[in-house]
């Protein structure tokens, strides 16, 4: 039986090689790709939060977890007919992590709550070259260049339990006092860093149907040329260079279009 199957397979291969109408590998893998698609691509970004945590711990806040940021994003692309298998598109993604700490004040009458949220987001133009491997399976490599940033929102709240009526009274009178007569400190600051970003990477893509495909990829998010502000109004200087949102980026995606 094994010899029969082997003989049949060899005969089929020889027949295919002699027939111009049945190319090997399949015709699709040799044709220039056309069409376009949109996609949803959640990803995981591994940034170095240790430089940020050094300042948080020193200020009495809880450190951020160092297991990366889960991000949501998507985009689209279309093939450029003049350059076979080259596609150009755009994408955007964002995500955040948070830490919270609550500590009593020295008097013991109130508590201090500190919330820190680190958010990373960016948008970019993408340029990728696609190499068909076998039927339905492609590898794409290229990159993205655009603009993005890292936001650090710092919130500190010192005081007794807050009530709706108390907040409106304080807002109208400008007298932010606690029920014990102590000054309430309720401060929110946003430190925003804007960066030029670039992201080289490679993806493996598989077309399940003519209109549906999946992808998995790995890339590196780089950031440079930082510009920092406080609350979007005031310049912030003296920010260490190692505080940014760059790092390894792993993504998966669902693509809908023509493949």
What structural domains does the chain harbor? 1-30 (no CATH), 33-257 (2.40.160.20)
Instruction: Write out the chain's pLDDT in tens, 259 residues.
Output: 433 333 444 344 444 444 445 444 344 445 688 899 999 999 999 999 999 999 999 998 999 999 999 999 999 999 998 999 999 999 999 999 999 998 887 776 678 889 999 999 999 999 999 999 999 999 999 999 999 999 999 998 876 566 787 778 767 766 555 444 555 567 899 999 999 999 999 999 999 999 999 999 999 999 999 999 999 999 999 999 999 999 999 999 999 999 8
pLDDT of residue 30: 55
DSSP β-bridge partners for residue 144: 126, 199
- Tokens encoding 133: 């491997």
DSSP 3-state of 110: coil
CA-to-CA dists, residue 40 to 33, 138, 164, 198, angstroms? 21, 18, 40, 20
As a three-state string, the secondary structure of 49-60 is CHHHHHHHHHCC
pTM of the model: 0.78
CA-to-CA dists, residue 190 to 28, 227, 232, 234, 257, angstroms? 51, 14, 8, 11, 39
Distance CA 223, CA 197 (A): 5
């Amino acid at each position: 039986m094994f010899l029969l199957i082997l003989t049949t397979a060899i005969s089929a291969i020889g027949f295919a090689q002699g027939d111009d109408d049945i190319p090997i590998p399949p015709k699709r893998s040799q044709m220039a790709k056309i069409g376009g698609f949109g996609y949803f691509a959640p990803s995981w970004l591994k940034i170095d939060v240790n430089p940020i945590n050094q300042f948080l711990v020193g200020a009495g806040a809880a450190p951020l977890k160092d297991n990366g940021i889960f991000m949501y994003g998507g985009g689209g692309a279309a093939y450029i007919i003049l350059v076979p298998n080259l596609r150009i598109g755009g994408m955007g993604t964002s995500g955040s992590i948070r830490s919270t700490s609550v500590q009593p004040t020295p008097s013991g009458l109130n508590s201090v709550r500190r919330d820190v949220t680190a958010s990373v987001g960016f948008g970019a133009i993408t340029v990728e070259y696609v190499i068909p491997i076998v039927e339905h399976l492609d590898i794409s490599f290229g990159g993205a260049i655009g603009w993005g940033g890292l936001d650090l929102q710092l919130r500190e709240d010192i005081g007794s339990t807050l009530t709706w009526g108390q907040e409106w009274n304080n807002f109208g009178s400008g007298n932010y006092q606690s029920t014990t007569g102590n000054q309430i400190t309720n401060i929110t600051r946003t430190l925003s860093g804007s960066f030029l970003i670039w992201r080289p990477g490679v993806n493996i893509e598989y077309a399940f149907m003519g209109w549906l495909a999946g992808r998995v990829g790995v890339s590196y998010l780089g950031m440079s040329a930082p510009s920092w502000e406080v609350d979007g109004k005031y310049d912030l200087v003296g920010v260490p260079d190692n505080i940014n949102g760059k790092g390894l980026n792993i993504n998966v995606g669902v693509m809908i279009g023509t493949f």
